Amino acid sequence: MKTKERYSAGSTVLSCFFVLLCAVWIVPIFEVIINSFKSNNFVNLDAFALPNAESFVGWDNYVKGMTFGNYPFLKSVSYSFIITVLSVFLILLFTSMSAWYIARVNNRFSKGFYYLCLFSMIVPFQMVMFTLSFTADQLKLNTPFTIPVVYLGFGAGLAIFMFVGFIKGLPLEIEEAAAIDGCSPVQTFFLVVLPMLKPTLISVGILQTMWIWNDYLLPYLVLDRTKYMTIPIHVQYLKGSYGTVDLGATMAVIMMSIIPIIIVYMFCQKHIIKGVAAGAVKG
């Protein structure tokens, strides 16, 4: 009985702690929301005050944020969308195939390749960003249609780690049966293995989408900013004369950029937890 009471008390304390932690994470988002409806002067005077009759400007900040400057906001949205979709597609396709090879072929090459992928997860981006920028420029990877190749390299480590853990738990007999029925290795992967990877595919896809959509540093270093701007880069250039920043419009643009990814995460969070847990347990 005492053990149950202690367990109940411990659960209550943990629940309160995580509620407070959740509130801490929500506060910045709440501040962005309320300031996106306030005029710039009132944002500067008191960023934590709620909008009132004097400071409330309705949707003016959102209109201003979409039309500010010489670079259209919708153009930045389109480039962010193109980069995210192409990058996630490449990561899911190539890393799932690589993980299947690593999990099923037990030799020194596959093990070495796997450990190199794991090592890439712990290498700080700052160590390679200058050489990466130079290399990407030399190889003409500085456009929204070619930068996904760079994202493939950076996203491969985590994706392969999750896929390998899941594939090791899949019954090998199913693949052997497909081979007996006449399937080639390519057919076996796409017709048999890939459908079974659905939970991890969704998990990896959502995690990579959240990272690439919100990424600022890599596009800033690689892309030709005179032609291409993603949403995070667009936010930085919301400046007027003499470097003045309209914080109200900036908050509105930030809000428009995070709403899509929040919606995606809210609808897919159960798949993230399920996929990560499956990969961790089966690996």
Tens-digit pLDDT profile for residues 234-248: 888 776 555 677 788
pLDDT at 160: 93
H and E: helices and strands count for the chain: 14, 0
Both tokens assigned to 122: 């712990």
Amino acid at 92: L
Q: How far apart are CA 89 and CA 56, in angstroms?
A: 42
Asked if 198 and 69 count as a contact pair (C-beta separation under 8 A), the reply is no
Three state DSSP letters for 4-42: HHHHHHHHHHHHHHHHHHHHHHHHHHHHHHHHCCECHHH
Asked if 38 and 55 count as a contact pair (C-beta separation under 8 A), the reply is yes
Tens-digit pLDDT profile for residues 157-174: 999 998 998 898 888 899
pLDDT at 275: 59
pLDDT at 243: 61
- If phi > 0 it is left, if psi is from -120 to 50 it is alpha, else beta; for residue 215 that is beta
Q: How far apart are CA 272 and CA 253, in angstroms?
A: 27
pLDDT at 70: 72
Q: How far apart are CA 227 and CA 235, in angstroms?
A: 15
Q: How far apart are CA 23 and CA 17, in angstroms?
A: 10
User: What does residue 55 show for φ and ψ, rounded to 5 degrees?
Assistant: -95, -15
Asked if 229 and 71 count as a contact pair (C-beta separation under 8 A), the reply is yes
Which residues of the chain are modeled with pLDDT < 50?
281-283
CA distances from 148 to 1, 219, 274, 280 (A): 57, 10, 27, 27
Of the candidates 187, 235, 209, 179, the residue with the CA atom closest to the CA atom of residue 87: 209
Both tokens assigned to 279: 């990969």
Q: How far apart are CA 37 and CA 98, in angstroms?
A: 48
Asked if 212 and 84 count as a contact pair (C-beta separation under 8 A), the reply is yes
Asked if 265 and 206 count as a contact pair (C-beta separation under 8 A), the reply is yes
pLDDT at 164: 92
User: What does residue 38 show for φ and ψ, rounded to 5 degrees?
Assistant: -115, 150
